[in-house]
Amino acid sequence: MPKHYGSLRRLSSLIFATLLPLLAIPSQADTYQFPKVPVPADNPMTPEKIELGKQLYFDPRISLSGAVSCNSCHNVTGNGTDNLPLSFGVFGRVDTPRNSPTVFNAAFNTVQFWDGRARSLEDQAEKPIQNPIEMGMPSGVAVVDRLEQIPGYREEFAHVFGDKKPITFHHVVEAIATYERTLITPDSPYDQYMAGNKKALDPSALSGMKLVEATGCETCHAGPMFDNTGTPMGTGFYQKFPSQPDYEPCAKYVKQYNLHGDEGRYKVTRKAADKNLFKVPTWRNVALTAPYFNYGTVQTLPEAVKVMAACQLRKKLSEKEVADIVAFLNSLTGKFPQQTLPQLPQTPDTTLLMGVPALTKAADKKMAH
Ligand code: HEC
Ligand code: HEC
């Protein structure tokens, strides 16, 4: 049987022995399905909320400079990233400390960010808006103040949330998270193969599929998203990276790609055991989201595979093995849902962006020339 749930089964055979009759495990091709997006009970999805969330996702007016939106760094008309090592934030700042992950399938992440510091998409969305080097808004209240001045948003929020104070920062992030839950990419060649189309994977990808199990990648990259071994929502699956820095080929990569530059989960918990722990990222669409790793220092997928083999498994793969694994990872590129640009509600007769300090300074400088 293809190894879709192989590792999960290996890791928890005991639990499985008792739960197996209760769980609907797709062991037959005709029962295989791309997983359904988990939706929190307190933030149900509606078409109107999705549309509002999409507008906010694309709206640069919820950034301090009025020039940065979620889409600036997570371009959903492409692959959900900016393909940059590190991102350009508000006022062109380039010092985001980490590489921007894709938002496609982020709805399946059990926690968000490389270090798992947000437990849900709702929690996550609050952070970049108020991050001084991303969207730079001073507070959630400042976001609400801006939106309150846009008549179209006042109407839409009232329609979607309908309570006494429809525009709140919490409603903003609920709407954005709802839109993000539509950003999923089913029907990759791998999914087609699992659903019974044995021609969907070529021999190289098939050999890669066996290799990721045989070499041990799947002890970490397991499950339908290849990012955990059955971790419940809200609980991250973290692993040390690099975990084999004393293995000589890994030591070389550590230097070359600055793999020790970030303390990972330790920054959140301050527990020594969490030093250099990172959330295991998904393999879905990974072939499109270069550069790789939390610092974005590795430029190509074959190189990322070699780094993983050396630094997580103390293994040196042959060129053929690397090519096969890459072919398998390529087979995890799914179908991206067609995006149409939203129409944003206008701000008639005014701009919301006067008096932004750094803007004024930049303009003064220009005038002086
Ligand atoms: C200036 C660039 C930038 C902007 C703007 C930005 N992000 Fe991000 N985003 C990042 C970076 C960098 C990370 C990784 C940071 C980390 O893990 O510490 C990230 C992480 C995320 C993640 C976590 C994904 C994962 O796999 O862990 C999600 C989801 C996300 N952003 C959504 C959003 C949304 C929604 C907005 C708008 C409200 C937004 N981002 C605005 C750069 C940006
Ligand atoms: C011990 C756990 C573990 C094993 C084994 C492992 N990985 Fe990883 N993998 C991780 C972690 C953790 C990261 C995130 C590293 C970071 O912080 O950048 C990662 C990241 C990656 C990335 C980069 C993803 C991105 O979006 O930048 C790829 C590609 C990858 N792994 C492939 C593999 C392959 C192929 C193998 C087997 C040869 C493998 N991994 C084995 C834990 C593991």
pLDDT tens for each residue of 34-59: 999 999 999 999 999 999 999 999 99
Per-residue pLDDT tens digits for 266-309: 999 999 999 999 999 999 999 999 999 999 999 999 999 999 99
Asked which of 95-99, 124-128, 140-144, 217-221 is least confident by mean pLDDT, the reply is: 95-99
Q: What is the pLDDT of residues 340-361, one digit of tens each?
A: 999 999 999 999 998 776 555 5
Per-residue pLDDT band for 11 (boundaries 50, 70, 90) equals: very low
Q: Which ligand is nearest to the CA of 285?
A: 2
Encode pLDDT of 240-253 as tens digits. 999 999 999 999 99
Q: Which residues, at least 6 apart from 267, have a Cβ–Cβ distance to it below 8 Å?
A: 115
Nearest to 66 by CA among 364, 363, 351, 361: 351
pLDDT at 78: 97
Residues 169, 174: Cα–Cα separation, whole Å: 9
Ligand 2 center–CA 283 separation, angstroms: 9
Q: Is 70 in the pocket of ligand 1 (CB under 6 A)?
A: yes
Q: Could you identify the atom of ligand 1 that is nearest to the CA of residue 109? A: 26
The pLDDT, as a whole number, for residue 306 is: 98
Cβ of 4 less than 6 Å from ligand 2:
no
Distance from residue 279's CA to the centre of ligand 1 (Å): 14
* pLDDT tens sequence across 184-205: 999 999 999 999 999 999 999 9
The torsion angles phi and psi of 312, rounded to 5 degrees, stand at -110, -25
pLDDT for residue 130 is more than 60: yes
Q: In this predicted model, what pLDDT tens digit does every residue of 76-110 receive, in sequence order?
A: 999 999 999 999 999 888 778 999 999 999 999 99
The answer to whether the CB of 222 is under 6 A from ligand 2 is no
Tell whether ligand 1 has an atom less than 6 A from the beta carbon of residue 192. Answer: no
Give me 142's structure tokens: 């400042």
Atom of ligand 1 nearest to the CA of 86: 12
Structure tokens at 263: 């303390």
Mutating to test ligand 2, I would choose from 221, 263, 282, 314 the residue with most ligand atoms within 8 A of its C-beta, which is: 221
Q: How many CB atoms lie within 10 A of CB 369?
A: 4
Distance CA 131, CA 347 (A): 25
Residue located nearest, by CA, to atom 42 of ligand 1:
100
The answer, yes or no, to whether any atom of ligand 1 lies below 6 A from the CB of 177, is: no
